Amino acid sequence: MGLIYYNGEYINDNIAISPDDRGYQFGDGIYEVVRVYEGRLFTAEAHFERLLRSASEIQIELASTVDDYIAICERLIAENRVQDGLIYVQVTRGIAKRNHIFPESTEPVTLIYSYDSARPVQGMEEGVKVITLEDIRWLRCDIKSLNLLGNVLAKQQAHIADAVEAVQVRDGIVTEGASSNVFIIKDGTLYTHPANHLILNGITRKVIKRCAEELNIPFVEQAFTPDALYDADEVIISSTSLEVTPVTQIDDQVMAIGPLTRKLQQAFKEKIYPAS
Ligand SMILES: *Cc1c(COP(=O)(O)O)cnc(C)c1O
């Protein structure tokens, strides 16, 4: 794994995790995944602003600023010689004898590491299969919480069905994937679920919104049904690691990759490589 940042230190070998870390016992913490392209961080400010927001929503007080996190990431990128990769960041509430109630005095525990990861070119080119299933998660999906059991169970069901993602449906409305946001294009308009407590407001989703605006594609934050998903002209899933990935199969139904998806992919690529 190369150099790792753990609890204020840069460590080169294995780190020791406390059995009393609340992240380990309760999933009591938050995380981010940040992209590195050609050795440079992509949309890192937005990711760390969201980390601070997630922390504040669950009443974890962080001493670090957005710039502090970026400085740590840049050191890891340099020392680990990351070109195309991802950075995983997690913060737990801290270490204390097991008890659901917040401990009186404990410091948050921060872990940051980097790893190599190529762009998902095959999925972006050829499209991927998704399945639909019931959204069984809690009602604060806007927090990027370490508690991912609902997401893990959904993703495993997708995996068993040879699909890349599980598109979740709550009360007859498509919310989002297990680790991605979901968009449909119908009659030239791009639709996605509003950024409320039922979805995680993706940074990639925000970049896609900007791309759509630049391309004069109407972007409407309006929930849609599974029927509208099946009936869409084009379907996209997005995340830091998936970028703009077209969906070519939903359950048993085959979908085509359309021209607006290709335009959004191109516009997204120009954000990654602004010089080219
Ligand atoms: C992280 C995540 C996303 C995508 O967010 P990005 O910032 O684009 O990576 C979407 N949904 C869920 C549930 C997530 O955890």
Determine the Cα–Cα distance for residues 182 and 211; give it in Å rounded to an integer.
Answer: 16
pTM above 0.85, yes or no: yes
Q: Is the Cβ atom of 240 under 6 angstroms away from ligand 1?
A: yes
- Identify the pLDDT of residue 188: 98
Q: Can 4-118 and 122-272 be said to share one CATH topology?
A: no
- Identify the pLDDT of residue 275: 73
Fold classified for 4-118: D-amino Acid Aminotransferase; Chain A, domain 1 (3.30.470)
Q: Is the model's pLDDT at 168 over the cut of 70?
A: yes
Are the beta carbons of 2 and 80 closer than 8 angstroms?
yes
Q: Is the model's pLDDT at 77 over the cut of 80?
A: yes
DSSP H or E run through 155: helix 149-160
Q: Is the Cβ atom of 239 under 6 angstroms away from ligand 1?
A: yes
The residue behind tokens 């095959």 is 122
Percent of the chain topping pLDDT 90: 97
- Identify the pLDDT of residue 69: 98
What CATH superfamily classification does 122-272 receive? Answer: D-amino Acid Aminotransferase, subunit A, domain 2 (3.20.10.10)
**Helix (H/G/I), strand (E/B), else coil: 60:** coil
Q: Is the model's pLDDT at 244 over the cut of 90?
A: yes
- Identify the pLDDT of residue 1: 76
> CB under 8 Å to 106, separation ≥6 — which residues?
22, 93, 94, 95, 96
Q: Is the Cβ atom of 180 under 6 angstroms away from ligand 1?
A: yes
**Pairing, β 165-170 against β 128-134:** parallel
**201 C-alpha to ligand 1 centroid (Å):** 7
Is 144 among the catalytic positions?
A: yes
**197 C-alpha to ligand 1 centroid (Å):** 13
Determine the Cα–Cα distance for residues 99 and 24; give it in Å rounded to an integer.
Answer: 13
* Count of Cβ atoms closer than 10 Å to residue 214 Cβ: 13
Determine the Cα–Cα distance for residues 243 and 236; give it in Å rounded to an integer.
Answer: 10
For the chain, domain boundaries? 4-118, 122-272
Ligand 1 atom at minimal distance to the Cα of residue 204: 8
Q: Which residue among the candidates 129, 144, 155, 209 is catalytic per the annotation?
A: 144
pLDDT tens for 90-115 read 999 999 999 999 999 899 999 999 99
Percent of the chain topping pLDDT 70: 100
Helices (H), 4-90: 22-26, 44-57, 66-79
